[in-house]
Amino acid sequence: MSESSFEKMNMVDLGSVLRKAVGGQVQYLVRHFDRALCENEGIRYLGEGLRITGDAGNYHDMKIYLDDLPIAIERLKTEKGVVEKKGNEKEAMDTSLLPDWVRGK
């Protein structure tokens, strides 16, 4: 299996997972993970250090590396005020939108 195939296999749909975890419309949630759009519109960029492909102009094709997903969710929840950060507590991630092989099915 080539590296690019492996990477594709480990990427999930960013917008769908953010919608389920944070709530809201996908086109507005993913904007925070598109550096160029954030710079142009003066909104906070939350994708620093995360492996994300695509851009908010075609938001249904934005993907994120599975290992980076919990960080993206936490950053967006904090940005949107969905949860208050309390020390090192971590909320269980909803895995219902992840591929079956990730969920062990």
- Residue 94 located in a structural domain: no
pLDDT in tens, 12-49: 999 999 999 888 899 999 999 999 999 999 999 999 99
Largest CA distance in the chain: 42
DSSP lists the bridge partners of residue 65 as 11
- Residue 68 located in a structural domain: yes
Q: Which domain holds residue 26?
A: 3-80
One-letter amino acid for residue 16 of the chain: S
What is the 3-class SS of 3-38, one letter each residue?
HHHHHHHCEEEHHHHHHHHHCCCHHHHHHHHCHHHH
Smallest Cα–Cα separation from 62: which of 70, 77, 74, 72? 72
Smallest Cα–Cα separation from 14: which of 51, 42, 44, 49? 51
pLDDT of residue 100: 67
- Residue 86 located in a structural domain: no
- Residue 26 located in a structural domain: yes
pLDDT of residue 81: 80
- Residue 95 located in a structural domain: no
Is the confidence at residue 1, as pLDDT, over 60?
no
Q: How many domains does the chain have?
A: 1
- Residue 102 located in a structural domain: no
pLDDT in tens, 56-103: 999 889 999 999 999 999 999 988 886 544 554 545 556 666 666 666
Strands 63-65 and 52-53: antiparallel
pLDDT of residue 80: 84
pLDDT of residue 53: 93
- Residue 105 located in a structural domain: no
- Residue 88 located in a structural domain: no
